[in-house]
Structure 1
Amino acid sequence: MYTEMTEDVVRIMLVDDHPLVRDGLRARLEAVPHFRVVAEADSGPEALGLANKVDVDLVLMDITMRDGSGIEATARFTEQHPDIAVLMLSMHDKLEYVTQAMQAGARGYVLKDAPGKDIVLAIDTVIASGIYYSAALARQLARPAQAQDNQLTSREQEVLRHIANGESNKQIARDLDLSVRTVETHRLNIKRKLGIEGQAELIKFAVQHAKYGGSAT
């Protein structure tokens, strides 16, 4: 147990509606010298309330909880506490969940059955402003894409890189000084040129294009 805080310590909030899961995570994380679990919550609303009272650097967020979706909670965290990083920890390995989580503002996605060292690496990567995916998800993301990106204009490739970072249309528009409608048009053109139908496939291609693999900085 820590007796004092230093600027190098990562202050973590655990959000999961299973106390035993939180107990296991706390024990695992606090074995790492520069991690400290400073708060726990069993729902998104409770976590948001705690974030107003406790200094937190990173939230380790479950997706499926009795009192609401962790993805919805992540979107609210991103809006209300943009300085707090959110890392998803879930049993769901479908790309649709990854897509939704990244669009909500999550900076990474780790599967609950991943080795403990992966969770540590994920937290360190996200705190260093990177993006992290569990190895099992990275393998899905690394499967051959349906088409190459050399059909895209330089602006479309730029939009694609922002999509790989999990940014929403509004965020991309702000970063590139474009209208939201223009960004939406670029998304549609990218999908049309690459033969991609859904948002999950677009995120998958974007991440592969950015050569993120298992983790990204």
Structure 2
Amino acid sequence: MNIILIDDHEVIRDGIKGLIEQEFGWQVIYSASQLPNYNGNDLFDNTDVAILDISLKIESGFSILQKIKSFYPHIKCVMLSMYDHIGYVSKALELGADSYVTKTAATKELMAALGAVENGDNYLSSDISNSLAFSKNNSFNGLTDREKEVFLHLSKGLPPKKISKVLNTMPKTIMVHRTNIYNKLGASSQFELLRLALAEGILDVEDILNVSQN
């Protein structure tokens, strides 16, 4: 699979390029902070996937995405951005993006996104998927972003001490978040949080099975 990588930061480009080529055997055939001219360029004819940052100095990633999809619709586009705002995600998807991964997500999620588009599928990094799920449910509007993170871990059955390690904070802090979550959602146990998460479509049975197997 031939890939072009557009990002303003050389260190990020080099790191992603090395991982893609050394670990997965795909080839990054072009890596820079901007694209060359669009029309009549053999580079695009030989490209399978474009990884695009949104915030670029010369031309925005949205503009590049739109042009690639107009001139070379066969190219799959993966947006890799520091922005996790739903507005950015929605705009990218409207313009034809095949996947959206935040830079705060684990590197393995970018690799998962590339694997997905190679198979003709779409991919959203887990933090984006969670935000989209929560945004559809008014019940969770009162939770802070941190409380939503804690809610997800609690609903999967993780104990506060383990959640504190995952989120790199004190167990006492997680206990405070748990109390706030119970009060805001009218719950009294982690099992009730699980039932709520399943009922609202924020988690599914596979999510729970994955946790139990780890």
Length-normalised TM-score, structure 2: 0.60
Residue 82 (structure 2) aligns with:
91
Percent identity reads 27
Equivalent runs, 1:30-109 vs 2, <5 Å: 30-43=21-34, 45-46=35-36, 48=38, 52-53=42-43, 55-109=46-100
Counterparts of 2:37 and 2:48, CA distance in 1: 13
Structure 1 contact 39–50 (Cα < 8 Å) conserved: no
Counterparts of 2:80 and 2:41, CA distance in 1: 18
Instruction: Kindly indicate whether structure 1 or structure 2 has the higher relative contact order, using CA contacts under 8 Å at least 6 residues apart.
Output: 1
Summarize deviations over 1:59-118 as a string: whole Å, max 9, x none: 000000000210111011000000000000000000000011111111010011221211
Q: 1:22 Cα deviation (Å)?
A: 0.7
Residue 12 (structure 2) aligns with:
21
Residue 121 (structure 1) aligns with:
112
Summarize deviations over 1:14-69 as a string: whole Å, max 9, x none: 011221211111111112233111111312x4274695335110000000000021
Q: Which has the larger radius of gyration?
A: 2
When residues 30 and 51 of structure 1 are mapped into structure 2, their CA distance, relative to the original with a 3 A threshold, is: farther
Counterparts of 1:104 and 1:115, CA distance in 2: 25
Residue 164 (structure 1) aligns with:
none
Counterparts of 2:8 and 2:37, CA distance in 1: 11
Structure 1 contact 15–47 (Cα < 8 Å) conserved: no
SS of the equivalent of 2:43 reads: coil
Structure 2, unaligned runs of 5 or more: 139-200, 208-214
Aligned residue type for 2:23: V
Structure 1 contact 61–86 (Cα < 8 Å) conserved: yes
Length-normalised TM-score, structure 1: 0.59
Counterparts of 2:90 and 2:16, CA distance in 1: 24
Counterparts of 1:89 and 1:18, CA distance in 2: 12
Aligned match of 1:142 in 116, 133, 136? Answer: 133
Aligned residue type for 1:84: I
When residues 41 and 51 of structure 1 are mapped into structure 2, their CA distance, relative to the original with a 3 A threshold, is: farther
Residue 169 (structure 2) aligns with:
none
When residues 127 and 114 of structure 1 are mapped into structure 2, their CA distance, relative to the original with a 3 A threshold, is: same
SS of the equivalent of 1:46 reads: coil
SS of the equivalent of 1:105 reads: coil
When residues 47 and 11 of structure 1 are mapped into structure 2, their CA distance, relative to the original with a 3 A threshold, is: farther
SS of the equivalent of 1:96 reads: helix
